[in-house]
Homo-oligomer: A and B are copies of this chain.
Amino acid sequence: MAKQDRAIRTRQAILSAAAKVFEERGYQAATITEILTTAGVTKGALYFHFQSKEDLAQGVLGEQDQRLVVPDRACKTQELVDTVMLHAHRLQTDPMVRAGVRLSLDQQAHDLDRSGPFLRWGEVMRHLLEQAQLQGELLPHVVPAETADVLVGSFAGIQAMSQAVSDYQDLPDRVCALLRHLMPTVVLSSILTSVDLSRTRGATVYTELAEALEELDKVPVG
């Protein structure tokens, strides 16, 4: 294994351990010592990648960004729906995404800047809405930045409610209900009729992405 690959794997192992510890203890009570033990790496290796507990938390928060990309769609409203539904699917299935979302809602983490994921998710949503607007998919009154904030904020609460009442079992249904309530005030009805808003959409997009990645692996390098 090349030196660089090893460094990437060590970094991932540390982040996975940090995600686990932050999720169990919360930001405030988590310690670097416990993250070290859980990751099974040396102190030197950890401090090579991360300077502090806050740095580790920002690393976990940032991992959500790696997971924002869905396949391009001709209909930008569909791409937006796909982004939201895929995120919901990953919240159900990926501990790193779950840990990041919980950290960003950890109101006891006073000295941790948790605005990052809200702002970055806001940017992604705003960009997709602006593209949809350019293509004439949106109602004339829509202000993309405002609608993006509403989408990001309400999604954050819907997932928290789903976690509190069903440990994420009902998340796809709740996210569908949210989108069915919001989209008609944002998107032209003639566009909405051909958008897939079904509860299985997140899993469908996930499979599509996984298959595309497999195809990529088959392409000979060089």
Chain A interface residues toward B at CB < 8 A: 23-26, 28-29, 102, 104-108, 114-115, 118-119, 146-147, 149-150, 152-165, 174, 177-178, 180-182, 184-186
Main secondary structure of the interface of A (DSSP, over half): helix
Q: Which of B29, B146, B158, B164 makes the CB contact (< 8 A) with A157?
A: B158
- Between A107, A155, A182, A184, the greatest number of chain B beta carbons within 10 A of the residue's beta carbon is seen for A107
**A157 — which chain B residues lie within 8 A by C-beta?**
153-160
**A184 — which chain B residues lie within 8 A by C-beta?**
184-185
Which residue of chain B has its CB nearest to the CB of A142? B181
Which residue of chain B has its CB nearest to the CB of A182? B181
Q: Which of B28, B163, B181, B185 makes the CB contact (< 8 A) with A150?
A: B181
Question: CA–CA, A114 to B165, complex, Å?
Answer: 8
**Are A161 and B149 interface neighbours, CB within 8 A?**
yes
**Are A150 and B164 interface neighbours, CB within 8 A?**
no
**Are A164 and B26 interface neighbours, CB within 8 A?**
no
**A102 — which chain B residues lie within 8 A by C-beta?**
107
Decide: A105 near B105, CB < 8 A? Known: A28-B26, A185-B185. Answer: yes
**Are A108 and B156 interface neighbours, CB within 8 A?**
no
Question: CA–CA, A24 to B111, complex, Å?
Answer: 12
**Are A105 and B160 interface neighbours, CB within 8 A?**
yes
Task: List 18 contacting pairs A-B, 8 Å CB cutoff, sorted by A.
Answer: A28-B29, A102-B107, A105-B107, A106-B107, A115-B164, A118-B165, A149-B161, A150-B154, A150-B181, A152-B161, A153-B161, A153-B162, A153-B174, A156-B156, A156-B160, A157-B159, A181-B185, A182-B185
Which residue of chain B has its CB nearest to the CB of A30? B108
**A25 — which chain B residues lie within 8 A by C-beta?**
28, 108
